[in-house]
Each structure stands twice: as structure tokens, then as C-alpha cells.
């Protein structure tokens, strides 16, 4: 573990893409992957319960999945009047059955797998960031396109709209504020200079958030397409089945974002609809240990709130690490940036944790979950308005993440 942590830490600093001042955006992603390597190293180094890393596939139904399906069917049928004690007992029995089910799968896999299978499984587990097909799998975006034709059409369509959208956002981000404000004033001459500048700043900030969404979609779709093509080509080679790549399964590569409905809470946006690349290390390193530590001291609700804040603190760190590695060779800002701008990224991600805690407090006080049209309005405004701090931090001259467009 110490060696992998050290290598993951040093690699983004030593082997960044050159010239660094023209590839800040790509090196930012490179740095985040270094942070991911650090987190996975610590996670795997301290993991004693290996059952969550069990490959369960997509065909069978585990006890946990059957219980979830039964709950969804019951919720669709109307009010839930089942006593709390009965629910707790049912949950306990389901967890025990799930562990027995996973243990049986692991015994079967251990009996059938050889050395090559173990190496392949380990590599697959390393790159399966979202855990599709594993017990620890994060949120999914069903339905899946099981046939290769519809799957490829979906990928090509995502590439077709995400690339021009990213280019458009990059053009807006690279536009000098003076010419941007002049354009806004020309379109809306009734605005005064101050209001035109404010509106221009809002448009630029929205463009940065949209650029992140488009860049993630484009990168994920391109990597998935390359994986599909390479797998198909390798499987054409005359090699033994044990040495070749496994068949490509589209169910392992669902859409990156869950866009089936608008976000009606901050918690849903980050836990269900965002990409969930880091869901497992966040849960293992931040959420679960913080809850175990503080629940006996402060109770279940406050312990969970602290766990949520710890999760977003870890999210703040990986983004600050990516920013630090990508700008390590750039000259420092003169004069130094105010602390709120310098650490605006951390302020933003921590604010999202605070938003989720506020939603939990609302539910505890009113016995109603955040949702509906009011939830959509609340979550959209909260996520976007807090993003102003992120925009000021990442687009500051010393950060210069707007150079990401050059790398794209």
C-alpha cells in the first residue's frame, strides 16, 4: 500500500502532459486519477470484508435486489403501515441472506478461477470505478441497450452532442469579460453596464458547469467506444479463451448520468444522478467510518450528517489535489488570491454537503421528503448558485482551468 500511494501521489507531478500551461485541463483530470489511485490504495489496503467486491453479474437476483424490488412494489401500492420493528428485523434477515449469497459466489469463483482469471478479475475490479456488476455497484442508469447496435448508436449520439457543446462552452469561457459584456449589452441594450456584467458572469459560470458535464460525457463515451473496439479486435485474434479479453457486455457501461428526471433534491443529484465514479472509496473512507465513529456519541441522525460532510470533504480534497498537480509549475498569482477564491472549490463541495444536511433537517422536522417541483427549484438554484465560488476559483489566472479547451 505505501508504494502504490507514493506512486499515485508522485505520478501527476512528474509525468504531466506537456506543455503544462497549455494542458491544464487534461492534467487536472490526470491529477484526479492520481487521487483516485491514492484512495483505492488505502481502501484496498484496509479492506477486511471482501464480500462487497464480489462479482454478481447481471443475470441472477440477490436477496438484496429481491427485497428492493418488493419494497418498490409495496410503495407503488400505497401507504406503508408496516411496524418499524418488523422492518428492522426484515432488513437484518436480508443482510444475513445477502452475505451468505455473496460468500457462496466467492467460494464458487475461487474453486473455478485459475491464476490468469485472478489477474484479469483484479484488473477489471481496478478499472470498474462505478462497480457495475459488482455487489458494491453504485447507482445505475437502466434500461440498458443490450444489443451492440443500439449501444453503439447511443455512444455515437453522446459524442455527437457533447463535443460541440464542449467547444461552445470553451469559447464562452475563453472570451474576455469586456467583449462578453459588450455582446450582452448589444443583445439587451436596456441593461446598464453593471447588470450586463453580472449577467455575463452568470452565463460564463453556467458555461463552466455545462463544460464539466459535456467533458465527462465525451471522455466516458470515447473511452467506452475505444474499449468496445479494442475488445472486438482482440477477440478476433487466434488466442485461447483463457488469454483473451472477456466478451464486451454493454450492461457494464450504462450512461454516465441519470437524466431520466430532473433532480428534485441535492442528495438525489449527487448520489443518484451524478457519475458515481468515486462512490465506493467515498463510502469506505469517509461516510461509513465517520458514522461508525460518531453515531455512539451523537446519535444516528447527527452521525449521518457528519458522514455526509466527511464525504464531501474527501471530494474537496481530490479536486484540490487535481488542481494542485495541474498548476504546480505555473507562476503563482500576484497579488495572492483571497482565501475564499483560492479555496473556492473546497467551499463549493462542502456547501453541497451542507445542503444535503439541511434537507435531512427539513425531513426530520416536517416528516416530508424534499421533492416535487419545489425540490427541483431548490436543488437547481442551490447547486448552480453555490457554483459561483467554484467558478471564481477554477477560472482564476493562477488556476487557468479554462485552458482545458486547448487540451480538448
pLDDT of residue 67: 72
pLDDT of residue 128: 86
pLDDT of residue 358: 96
pLDDT of residue 408: 38
Q: What pTM does this model have?
A: 0.86
What does each of the 408 residues of the chain score in pLDDT, given as a tens digit? 889 999 999 999 998 888 887 788 889 999 999 999 999 999 999 999 899 999 888 876 777 777 776 766 665 555 556 677 787 888 888 888 888 988 998 898 888 888 888 888 888 888 888 888 898 886 566 656 778 889 999 999 999 999 999 999 999 988 888 888 888 888 888 888 888 888 988 899 899 999 999 999 999 999 999 999 999 999 899 888 777 888 888 888 988 898 888 889 999 999 989 988 999 999 999 999 999 999 999 999 999 999 999 999 999 999 999 999 998 888 887 788 888 888 999 999 999 999 999 999 999 999 899 999 999 999 999 999 999 888 888 876 555 555 444 333
The 10 Å CB-count burial string (b at 16+, else e) for 228-251 is beebeeeeeeeeeeeeebeebebb
Rounded to an integer, what distance in angstroms lies between the CA atom of residue 53 and that of residue 367? 36
Rounded to an integer, what distance in angstroms lies between the CA atom of residue 67 and that of residue 44? 29
Contact, 317 vs 36, CB < 8 A? no
pLDDT of residue 156: 95
pLDDT of residue 140: 62
Amino acid at each position: 500500500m505505501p508504494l502504490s500511494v507514493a506512486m499515485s501521489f508522485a505520478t501527476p507531478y512528474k509525468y504531466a502532459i506537456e506543455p503544462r500551461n497549455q494542458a491544464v485541463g487534461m492534467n487536472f483530470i490526470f491529477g484526479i486519477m492520481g487521487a483516485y489511485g491514492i484512495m483505492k490504495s488505502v481502501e484496498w489496503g484496509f479492506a477486511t470484508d471482501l464480500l462487497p467486491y464480489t462479482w454478481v453479474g447481471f443475470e441472477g437476483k440477490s436477496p438484496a435486489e429481491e427485497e428492493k424490488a418488493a419494497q418498490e412494489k409495496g410503495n407503488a401500492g400505497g401507504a406503508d403501515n408496516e411496524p418499524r420493528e418488523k422492518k428492522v428485523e426484515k432488513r437484518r434477515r436480508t443482510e444475513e441472506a445477502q452475505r451468505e449469497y455473496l460468500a457462496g459466489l466467492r467460494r464458487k469463483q475461487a474453486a473455478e478461477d485459475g491464476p490468469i482469471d485472478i489477474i484479469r478479475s483484479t484488473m477489471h475490479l481496478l478499472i470498474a470505478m462505478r462497480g457495475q456488476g459488482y455487489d458494491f455497484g453504485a447507482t445505475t442508469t437502466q434500461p440498458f441497450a443490450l444489443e451492440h447496435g443500439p449501444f453503439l448508436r447511443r455512444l455515437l449520439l453522446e459524442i455527437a452532442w457533447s463535443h460541440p457543446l464542449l467547444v461552445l462552452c470553451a469559447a464562452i469561457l475563453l472570451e474576455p469579460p469586456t467583449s462578453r459584456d459588450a455582446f450582452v449589452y448589444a443583445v439587451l441594450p436596456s441593461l446598464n453596464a453593471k447588470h450586463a456584467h453580472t449577467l455575463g458572469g452568470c452565463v460564463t459560470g453556467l458555461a463552466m458547469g455545462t463544460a464539466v458535464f459535456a467533458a465527462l460525457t465525451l471522455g466516458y463515451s470515447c473511452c467506452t467506444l475505444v474499449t468496445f473496439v479494442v475488445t472486438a479486435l482482440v477477440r478476433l485474434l487466434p488466442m485461447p479463451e483463457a488469454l483473451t479479453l472477456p466478451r464486451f457486455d454493454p450492461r457494464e457501461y450504462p450512461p454516465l448520468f441519470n437524466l431520466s428526471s430532473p433532480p428534485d433534491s441535492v442528495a438525489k443529484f449527487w448520489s443518484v444522478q451524478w457519475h458515481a465514479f468515486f462512490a465506493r472509496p467515498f463510502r469506505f473512507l469517509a461516510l461509513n467510518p465517520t458514522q461508525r465513529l460518531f453515531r455512539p456519541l451523537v446519535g444516528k441522525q447527527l452521525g449521518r450528517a457528519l458522514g455526509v460532510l466527511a464525504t464531501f470533504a474527501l471530494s474537496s480534497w481530490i479536486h484540490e489535489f487535481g488542481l494542485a498537480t495541474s498548476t504546480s509549475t505555473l507562476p503563482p498569482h500576484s497579488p495572492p488570491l483571497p482565501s475564499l477564491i483560492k479555496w473556492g472549490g473546497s467551499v463549493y463541495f462542502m456547501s453541497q454537503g451542507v445542503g444535503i444536511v439541511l434537507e435531512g433537517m427539513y425531513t426530520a422536522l416536517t416528516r416530508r421528503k424534499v421533492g416535487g417541483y419545489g425540490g427541483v427549484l431548490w436543488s437547481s438554484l442551490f447547486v448552480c448558485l453555490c457554483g459561483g465560488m467554484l467558478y471564481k476559483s477554477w477560472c482564476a489566472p493562477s488556476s487557468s482551468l479554462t485552458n482545458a479547451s486547448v487540451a480538448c
